[in-house]
Amino acid sequence: MRTLISNGIVVNADGSCRADVLVEGETIVAVGLAEAATPAQQPLQVLAPGAVDRVIDARGRLVIPGGIDPHTHMELPVAGTVSRDTFETGTRAAAFGGTTTIIDFAGQTRGRPLREGLETWMARAEGRCAIDYGFHMMVNDVSDATLAEMDTFVAEGITTFKLFTAYPGVQLSDDGAILRAMLRTADNGGLILMHAENGVAIDVLANANAEAGRTDPWYHGLSRQPGLEAECVHRVIRLAEAAEVPVYIVHLSSRDALEEVVRGRQRGAQVIAETCPQYLALSIDDLGNGFEGAKFVCSPPLRPRDHQEALWQGLANDDLQVVGTDHCPFDFAGQKDLGRGDFRKIPNGLPGVEERLDLLFQGVVQGHLSVERWVEICSTAAARIFGLGDTKGVIAPGYDADIVIYDPGRRHVLSAATHHMAVDYSCYEGREVQGGSDVVLSRGQIIVEDGKYLGRPGAGHFRPRQATGARLP
Ligand code: URP
Ligand code: ZN
Ligand code: ZN
């Protein structure tokens, strides 16, 4: 099967040009310039009539590498319930939003082998995903046994491990454990991902608020202060410097934490950081309005609006490298309301896997980002950092034909009534955005077109990833 995507503007992280893209089977085989934009470039590659089976006219639209969301939680057990999107519904929703690869998080039960957790998550995803996927491994206790398992995992393509300074007694690792895991990655080439919030201090504040009767979702935000995120970001960067390895900060939410990343990078620390659309497009104000605020409870929490400018700036100047969604959806009715009367019992997490590209494209519309930088933070950087850089994140011959034809002018309204995520509300209900994914190809197959899903569960494959720890950032 040969598909020609003609007349579009091909946007890669390193530049854009008018070009046709030829796909054969699952792979991009040629990118021919429609016009030679510079003398160094080759003119249009002429294809004989009938040489292709299908032509997609992308005139007036952008042709971009499919989005890579390196931070999702499908079917994640949290606080006695389970995040609503399955691998089937969540990857289908991702596809509608122009994302063609996710990296989800497999979980370890404390005291049990990592392998057991990985097998559980593999079984949940196998045969169900609409798009390609991989796994990070969450390590809840660092021991000689789990450290040895990490080596095996790296060899098998699960090359990244999330540790926590939050959630004491459940997921928190102390400094010694974090340093041991980091030192292990110095040998095996893996990469440590850190949830960096001071969970011990946060629990003191959260308990004090709840015991004083301050039980609304608003107090979730007030208890998890930006300084307690910044302190841990600083600490884990220092630990990574001691181990002489890179470290990746997940879901960075605040200006305070970003300042620590900037300071670390200025010292020469190998720190990479991810933020999420919700920290750019929502604020702590959304946590108000009584229990409605439960819809916006996630950790780290939403911050005062004036943090947003710093995060956009950080994305523009490469202090922040990646945007992942931390997609972890819970219905308002029946799940979020488990915490009515006690914000500590609200399952943490927001839906968002479908909206990432569009929300970030508002950064292009508003002048925060170039269109190339948008592609980089939504796709190319994650491919490079997470060991998919030889196959994904670029429109060029030899790469997977994970391609989105994106209309930069189409306006549409975000709403639970029209989204495809299996959750009963939208964090962005009624918000109009400019830009939308029109056609989505996953390894050469059209899986979304004209608002219709043409994919199938199981078409997405598990993709082992290369170890990149030794060559970052
Ligand atoms: O509130 C959040 N972020 N829930 C998902 C789990 C995590 O810590 O990433
Ligand atoms: Zn986390
Ligand atoms: Zn997460």
**For residue 55, how many other CB atoms are within 10 A of its CB?**
14
- Which pLDDT tens digit goes with each residue over 213-241? 999 999 999 999 999 999 999 999 999 99
Which atom of ligand 1 lies nearest, measured to the CA of 299? 1
The protein residue with its alpha carbon nearest to ligand 1, atom 5, reads: 349
Cα of 192 vs centre of ligand 2, distance in Å, is 13
Which pLDDT tens digit goes with each residue over 246-287? 999 999 999 999 999 999 999 999 999 999 999 999 999 999
Report yes or no: 269 and 297 within 8 Å, Cβ to Cβ.
no
Ligand 3 centroid–CA 398 distance in Å is 32
Q: Is 349 in the pocket of ligand 1 (CB under 6 A)?
A: yes
Instruction: Give the pLDDT confidence of 424-462 residue by residue, as tens digits.
Output: 999 999 999 999 999 999 999 999 999 999 999 999 999
Ligand 1 pocket test, candidate residues 251, 274, 295, 350, most atoms within 8 A of CB: 251
Instruction: State if residue 73 touches ligand 1 by the CB under 6 angstroms criterion.
Output: yes
On average, the pLDDT of the chain sits at 95
Virtual torsion, Cα 149, 153, 158, 159, nearest 10 deg: 80
Using DSSP's 3-state secondary structure scheme, residue 268 falls into: coil
Q: What percent of the chain shows pLDDT beyond 70?
A: 96
Task: Quote the pTM value.
Answer: 0.97
* pLDDT tens digits, 67-78: 999 999 999 999
Q: Outline where DSSP puts E strands in 190-261.
A: 191-195, 247-249
Instruction: Answer for the pair 427, 295: CB distance below 8 angstroms, yes or no.
Output: yes
Residue 180 three-state SS: helix
Provide the token pair at 334. Answer: 């029946």
Name the closest-CA residue to atom 3, ligand 1: 299
**Mode of pairing for the β-strands spanning 445-449 and 432-442:** antiparallel
Q: Is 413 helix (H, G, I), strand (E, B) or coil?
A: strand
Looking at the CA of 78, which ligand is closest? 1
Can you name the residues that pair with 247 across neighbouring β-strands? 192, 271
Preceding peptide of 473 cis, ω within 30°: yes
Q: Among 82, 278, 298, which is best to mutate for testing ligand 1, by the most ligand atoms less than 8 A from CB? A: 298
User: What mean pLDDT do residues 61-67 have?
Assistant: 98
What is each CA distance from 181 to 20, 119, 406, in whole angstroms?
46, 21, 41
Residue nearest to atom 6 of ligand 1 (CA): 349
| Nearest ligand by distance to the CA of 298 | 1
Strand-strand pairing, 54-57 and 2-12: parallel
